[in-house]
Structure 1
Amino acid sequence: MTVLLPTTVIGSWPVPEWLARIKTEWFRGRLSHAQLQDVHETAIKAALRDQEQAGIDIVSDGELRRDNDVDYLLARMAGIEIPRTTKDFYFDYYEPRITAPLPEPAGTLGLADDYAFTAGQTDRPITFSFTGPFSLAHRIRDEAYGDRRALALAVARVLNAEAHALAAAGATRLQIDEPFLAGHPDEIGVAVEAINAVTAGVPVSWGLHVCYGNRYARPSWEGHYDFLFPAVLDAAVDHLVLEFARKGGADLPVVARWDRDLGIGVVDVKSPHVETPETVAERIRRALEFVPPERLVVNPDCGLRHLSGAVARAKLAAMVAGAELVRASLPALHTVSQGAAP
């Protein structure tokens, strides 16, 4: 199956109030792990159906098993200490620390099992995402390395082992999310080195998502994507996935330097306003002035976690309709395999 301008999502899906309450009960010690898993599986099935019904070409599990973009991974890593494991609210951050160098990976973090469940619920291609080593390293109180690069590379080795396990479980599209990178643009070289340590030797299609933060639907930083270049050209990834809807198209000439697939954000996840298909189509056409259609992928700016379910579904439906408007106006000879999408 081939599709021009494939549509996808960044990762996270809206967390309904009932799920937030149940997850919080778990972190307060009032719910069994088996009960929590049952709830997660129900929520993931619903998120997949929503994406399928909206017409999304490449779906995700909605990251609904995770408490936030950091703790779900760090709490499972050998050598990472979590002094206080309870939370008042599931989305709060732990205060992880490291007092000795991380051991070489001896097991996995369980992400392959997460992927396997999702793959059993849909026949559509799946992008499986996880937070990258650079951002994770920024959340760890380092009492072992005293050097951000060394810590990021140690975390990257753990994630590389996890990526191998995901590939063995059948994953073909993995995405590294680096939400902290925009806040530390002078460290782009370290980030790329760590990203390449994650992707090394893992035969999948790799994406890299860089945004300006999306904590409670607010950006953590502002700026432009010029900080990525030229260092990001050395990243061993197949797709660069960026936000443009909220920020506008001013950075499109900058990222025209990227010579691989580009995921362009065309709906603003920080606003409940639902774009029209025509607005989406206009944003896609603007991107096509800089990126050929066979290398363009259509996605939201970032994860949809902080939107209501109704708004998220409406935004995705508009995104799919907008992409179809543009497809209909392009030569039929331009096609791209879904296997090449992030």
Structure 2
Amino acid sequence: MSEIATTHVGSLPRGADLVPLLLARDHGEAYDEAEFDSVVTAAIKAAVDKQVAAGVSIVSDGELGKVGYSTYITERLSGFGGDVPRKPALDLAPLPEFRKKLAAVMGDQEFVRAACVDKVELVNLEPAHEDIRRFKAALEGHETDAFMNAASPGLITAFQPNQYYKSHEAYLADLVDAMRPEYEAIAAAGFKLQLDCPDLAMSRHTGYQDASDEEFRTIAAANVEALNAATANIPAEQLRMHVCWGNYEGPHDCDIALEKVIDIVLAARPSTILFEGANPRHEHEWKVWAETDLPEDKILAPGLIDTCSNYVEHPELIAQRLERFIGIVGADRVIASTDCGFGTFAGYGKIDPQVTWKKLQALREGADIAAKRCG
């Protein structure tokens, strides 16, 4: 049979020369704009080259021009301010000593944690155009499909808590208008647009940990409705979405079960769904996908390699995991992917950059084994 496509969730480790520049920009400190553009441009070019060399079919810019996948929007939108400390995730809250160990391994989260303190509006789309320009330059000479990430409206509400709007829905409504131009710019550039949506799972035990499961479902459903409105002008087949329970090594025993949110996930417009399939707390949930009446236009992109461990998965294990999903929807409706990003925030993450490329190479080899067996 034909080759099974491989991809990943988007973010890649930032180099040591890039992290200080990203953090300075995030903190509103002085930095050399020409140096920033030069360093980011070179980093994206190198990342694209390495993805292609590892056999990745659908590559990204690694989000290397952003301080983080969920907080970068504060330099593009008005209405955000302050630096609000976040509560520990529910599973980590009773484990203070483990949290210290985890911080020592993962690094410090030095990015600004702003809150929504005023009306949200788009004020600067130029950084999005800069991302697009750099990515297009990096892709020159490569024949490959490509995607770019953007924060979903719901993700923004989970990371930038509401201190201004009278309701969650009112906050979302302004985010729809504010984020739509970025979404449409990425699509107009010819890339697939990936909406990052941990707000549909992870946020149950982080940003919305004080809600009940039913209250969380109401919040998640509103988030999907906002995502659908913001992407209404983009074809569903050009859209991807990523759902996860948090890219950190921890108990994860407070994670909401997939079966409690899968109907909400499937109500979202994107045709391709990326989700965790290697995380040991959720690998068993392939059965949930098998037992669910999936729309025929949905493509499953399960995570087949873990992004919280420097183990390089054996290609045979990857093939076995992939074959479960091939058995559910067929080989033409699966894409081999990763559980989460390899570098979700600048200067923060456990995966060694060199291991990233080894894992992506193993993903390609595992997908080839599965394709051969299914042929």
TM band (smaller chain)? 0.7 to 0.9
Deviations 1:125-179 (A, max 9, x none): 11111121111012334333121122123212222121122223x2331010012
- Root-mean-square deviation (CA, aligned residues, Å) is 2.4
Deviations 1:75-107 (A, max 9, x none): 3103x23347xxxx995342423344334x576
Uncovered stretches (5+) of structure 1, i.e. residues with no partner: 332-342
Over the matched positions of the two proteins, sequence identity in percent amounts to 25
TM-score by length of 2: 0.79
Change (3 A) 1:273 1:23: same
Match of 2:167 in 1: 147
Match of 2:225 in 1: 193
Match of 2:275 in 1: 242
Helix, strand or coil at the partner of 1:110:
helix
The answer as to whether partners of 1:115 and 1:171 remain within 8 angstroms in 2 is: no
1:171 aligns with 2:170: no
Deviations 1:302-329 (A, max 9, x none): 1111311111011011000010111112
Tell me, in whole angstroms, the C-alpha distance in 1 between the residues paired with 2:28 and 2:165.
Answer: 32
Match of 1:35 in 2: 35
The answer as to whether partners of 1:68 and 1:91 remain within 8 angstroms in 2 is: no
Q: CA deviation at 1:218?
A: 5.4
Tell me, in whole angstroms, the C-alpha distance in 1 between the residues paired with 2:250 and 2:335.
Answer: 24
Match of 1:115 in 2: 132
1:279 aligns with 2:299: no
Q: CA deviation at 1:205?
A: 0.8
Q: CA deviation at 1:109?
A: 5.3
Q: CA deviation at 1:193?
A: 0.6
Match of 2:212 in 1: none
1:313 aligns with 2:357: yes
Tell me, in whole angstroms, the C-alpha distance in 1 between the residues paired with 2:289 and 2:200.
Answer: 16
Q: CA deviation at 1:25?
A: 4.9
Instruction: Decide which moves more: 112-121 or 62-71.
Output: 112-121
Match of 1:158 in 2: 178
Deviations 1:211-252 (A, max 9, x none): 01125x558762321122322332111111101111353211
User: What amino acid is the match of 1:171?
Assistant: G
Match of 1:209 in 2: 242
Helix, strand or coil at the partner of 1:250:
helix
Change (3 A) 1:191 1:81: closer
Deviations 1:1-60 (A, max 9, x none): x95420011101112334324434554735312211211111111111110110111100
Helix, strand or coil at the partner of 1:111:
helix
User: What amino acid is the match of 1:196?
Assistant: N
- Count of equivalent residues: 322
Name whichever structure is richer in helix by fraction.
2
User: What amino acid is the match of 1:108?
Assistant: L
Tell me, in whole angstroms, the C-alpha distance in 1 between the residues paired with 2:108 and 2:24.
Answer: 8
The answer as to whether partners of 2:276 and 2:283 remain within 8 angstroms in 1 is: no
The answer as to whether partners of 2:6 and 2:337 remain within 8 angstroms in 1 is: yes
User: What amino acid is the match of 2:6?
Assistant: T
Tell me, in whole angstroms, the C-alpha distance in 1 between the residues paired with 2:327 and 2:283.
Answer: 11
The answer as to whether partners of 1:23 and 1:90 remain within 8 angstroms in 2 is: no
Instruction: Decide which moves more: 279-288 or 107-116.
Output: 107-116
User: What amino acid is the match of 2:47?
Assistant: A
User: What are the equivalent positions in structure 2 for 1:8-27 lying under 5 Å apart?
Assistant: 8-26=7-25, 27=27
The answer as to whether partners of 1:82 and 1:94 remain within 8 angstroms in 2 is: no
Helix, strand or coil at the partner of 1:174:
strand
TM-score by length of 1: 0.86
Helix, strand or coil at the partner of 2:284:
coil
Match of 2:303 in 1: 265
Match of 1:336 in 2: none
Aligned residue among 325, 336, 345 for 1:298: 336
